[in-house]
Amino acid sequence: MDFNSSRMKKLAKWIVGIVAVCILIFLGVKHIAVIARSVAWIFDLFGPLVLGFAFALILNVPMGFFERILWPNAKKKVWVIVRRPLAFILSLIIILGIIIGIICLVLPELTEAVKIAAKGVMDIAREISHMDKTSEIYKFFDTLMLEIDWGSIISSIQEWLTDTGSGIMNSAVGTVTALFGGIIDFFIAFIFAVYILFSKKTLKAQTARLIRAWLPDKAGEWLIHASMVSSSVFRSFVSGQTIEALILGTLCMIGMFILRIPYAPMVGALVGITALIPVVGAFIGAAVGAFMILMVDPVKALVFIIFLIVLQQVEGNLIYPKVMGSKVNLPAMWILAAVTIAGGIAGPVGMLLGVPIASTAYVLLREATAEQEKKKRAAQLLDEESEVIDVDE
């Protein structure tokens, strides 16, 4: 009787929980606009702090590496004090150096490509202007130009400028204000990231203490374990994805030099940057690179596409598994799903963070499933033992 009473209580809790969740979902869908505005307001309020936390997560990867190799067994207090600031400075120098190096590689080549594209357009216009007036192509363009009512177009532009002049000014002022606000938010986020990185050990201890004090023991220990898993997965993902992107960009540049494809440094750097986004990133860089090469030599653009498809196969089957290892162990289908869904929610940032978040959920779900299976096996063994005892009696 007690057993049935216990089962009824559990069933009642499940029913109440399901009803409560359904009510919350209904209210959420009904008032989705209010919730969206509230989330946007909260994000605007805490945006710099969230950005600072993201900076701290990224900077912590190289900073942790330098902290492990800089006097790890030092006993003198001065070396212990100096180690963390020095690791932070080295990490910052490396990241800034990579960004500046990429800009120096991409910007000159991109400027040259734009000049070539503009020159091509001017050459086409010049050829049309010097074309034989008796040719069919010239007659087509001449008829097309005559049919366009240029006076009406100019009048419409003037009216639009008059009507929207104040709006353009307001937009310009708003853009400048938003730019200054973004710069201020960036510096606040950077300072917040510095505070996090320089006191991360203390923050970890304080957070664990709060969790254990205010949450039930089981929930608190699970949350701490989940945080440790997510930290390990994120660190492995960032370091592995960076190394993999560097290898892919370098191989792309070397192959383009060998095949005599133009814009090798720029396209190699671009492919390497976009390869930080799993699965689809390198294809984005390939599309931009192919378009730039097409402006110079269409045949080379086709050669580049074929070369990059082959390189992607080699990278995906040989390099990527070796670099990433087993810590970010998501099947390809779930990686693509994570990138697609997270990209739709949060854009490029979501595409970058989608895989580590999904990997963390995957690891935790795998552990929970193994634990649940273990409990079920134990319960089955207990039931079998009970049945044997009943038969013996």
pLDDT digits (tens, 9 = 90+) for 197-209: 988 888 888 988 9
Q: What is the mean pLDDT of residues 7-29?
A: 79
When mean pLDDT is compared across 3-17, 39-53, 283-297, the lowest value belongs to 3-17
Q: What are 336-376's pLDDT values in tens digits?
A: 777 778 777 766 667 777 778 888 888 888 888 888 888 88
* Rounded CA separation 273/391 (Å): 69
**Structure-model confidence comparison of residues 242 and 9, the more confident one:** 242
Of 60-64, 89-93, 131-135, 275-279, the one with minimum mean pLDDT is 131-135
pLDDT tops 60 at residue 326: no
SS3 324: helix
Q: Is 263 left (phi over 0), alpha (psi -120 to 50) or beta?
A: left
Map out the domains of the chain as residue ranges.
Answer: 46-134+178-198, 217-384
d(CA 31, CA 54) in angstroms, rounded, equals: 30
> Each residue of 137-177: pLDDT tens digit?
666 666 666 566 666 676 676 666 666 655 655 666 666 77
Separation of first and last alpha carbons in the chain? 22
| Residue entry with tokens 């959920």 | 361
The pTM (predicted TM-score) of the whole model is 0.68
| 98-108 pLDDT per residue, tens | 888 878 877 77
The pair of structure tokens assigned to 250 is 């370098």
Do 294 and 226 meet the contact criterion of CB atoms below 8 Å apart? no
Please report the DSSP string for 341-392 in residue order. Answer: HHHHHHHHHHHHHHHHHHHHHHHHHHHHHHHHHHHHHHHHHHHHHHHHHHHH
